Amino acid sequence: MGSGRNLRVGDAERETAIKALGEHLTAGRLDVGEYDQRCADAAAARFQSDLRALFAHLPNMVSPPHAQAPEPPRRRPVGRIPLGIVLLLVCVVGVLKPILLLPLAAAAAALVLLMRR
């Protein structure tokens, strides 16, 4: 196997290089003629060294903020409305079916304890 310095490139690497050249064009580091020539060279590139040569006089691109690892999802705070609904349900069931009041109250207490964690 080769040393890894001059491996062949595929379409994905060529497309990435062309996109990076577009970012340099947008930043004003390349004029349209240079951009066109470098894009043609990128499309014809066969080896990594061919692509590296296209960026020889350009600064390294800094990763955009959106390329960083995404923030973990935040836990949604538990509001007081679900707790109020549970307490209302306990009261209604207690009036209509008193025999179910004890198990329902125990379930409501367990729910309240789980919601506080």
Supply the pLDDT for residue 66. Answer: 40
The CA distance from 102 to 1, in Å, is 74
How far, in Å, CA of 46 to CA of 48, rounded? 7
What HEC string does 4-44 produce?
CCCCECCHHHHHHHHHHHHHHHHCCCCCHHHHHHHHHHHHH
Strand partners, 84: none
Per-residue pLDDT of the chain (117 residues), as tens digits, is 455 567 999 999 999 999 999 999 999 999 999 999 999 999 999 999 999 999 988 988 754 444 445 566 666 655 555 666 767 777 777 777 777 777 777 777 777 777 666
Global pTM exceeds 0.85: no
Going 103 to 108 to 111 to 117, the CA torsion angle's sign is negative
- Return d(Cα 34, Cα 55) in angstroms, integer: 12
